[in-house]
Structure 1
Amino acid sequence: MAVVKFTSNLKRFYPDLSPLEVSGKTVSEILNEIETRYTGLKDYIVDENGTLRKHVNIFIGNEMVKDREGLKDELDERDEVYVMQALSGG
């Protein structure tokens, strides 16, 4: 199973949030699985259309996901996935 790690900013809303082992073949599938464990968490990550929010990045290992709209990037069961807050500003 892939391991998903989260930005510490989400702990403000989900204090017991910790790295999760999640099954799924795509980023979209693992986000659906995470939502079953932490109701509402997916809304912080994707918008109402299922598109990755502007100020959120997801990495599979060291590579940022390419499909920010459908989140169909494929996963291997040994992957580490990082959900991070994107930095912006100047």
Structure 2
Amino acid sequence: MLPSHRRSWPESPAEPACTWMMMENNGKAIPPIRIELPAALRVLAENRATIEARGETVAQALDDVGQRHPLLLRRILTRGGQLRPHVNLFVNETDIRHCQGLDTALGQGDVLVVVPSVAGG
């Protein structure tokens, strides 16, 4: 039986908006979250701007994505399973690096946004 998550809002502005309370899911399936992709990565996901994934954490959701779109996953994570340095992931509007990284919990209705860094001159 997998737990679900419910957002608990920050106690103070300094606390990241990614604090979660575990709730029992009574054996129900984990609801999908939406993943928004930048234009440059859409070709790796059947030219879709958004895809769905299931998982209790960002890592689990990305693993789910990797089952269907392995080339997309390679652009987001290193071979060692870490977030690539020039890729940013946001759960709703909060950078996962300000939370628990790939272990950041996900809940129903969350949106994971993939934002590659842009550099150059």
Aligning the two structures, in what range does the TM-score lie when normalised by the shorter sequence?
Answer: 0.7 to 0.9
Write out the 4+ residue segments of structure 1 that deviate beyond 6 Å after TM superposition.
Answer: none
Measure the CA separation in 2 of the matches of 1:21 and 1:14.
Answer: 11
Structure number with larger C-alpha Rg: 2
Unaligned 5+ residue runs, structure 1?
A: none
> Identity over the aligned pairs, expressed in percent?
25
Do the aligned residues in 1 keep the contact of 2:44 with 2:71 (CA within 8 Å)? no
- Aligned-residue CA RMSD in angstroms? 1.7
TM-score norm. by structure 2 comes to 0.64
**Aligned residue number for residue 23 of structure 1:** 54
Change over 3 Å in CA distance of 1:13–1:78 after alignment to 2: closer
**Aligned residue number for residue 80 of structure 1:** 111
Measure the CA separation in 2 of the matches of 1:47 and 1:39.
Answer: 12
Residue correspondences, number: 88
Do the aligned residues in 2 keep the contact of 1:5 with 1:81 (CA within 8 Å)? yes
Unaligned 5+ residue runs, structure 2?
A: 1-31
**Aligned residue number for residue 61 of structure 1:** 92
Residue 31 of structure 1 aligns to which amino acid in structure 2? Answer: L
Of stretches 22-31 and 10-19 in structure 1, the one that deviates more from structure 2 is: 10-19
**Aligned residue number for residue 51 of structure 1:** 82
RCO greater where, 1 or 2, for CA within 8 Å and sep 6 or more? 1
Measure the CA separation in 2 of the matches of 1:20 and 1:14.
Answer: 8
Measure the CA separation in 2 of the matches of 1:60 and 1:3.
Answer: 10
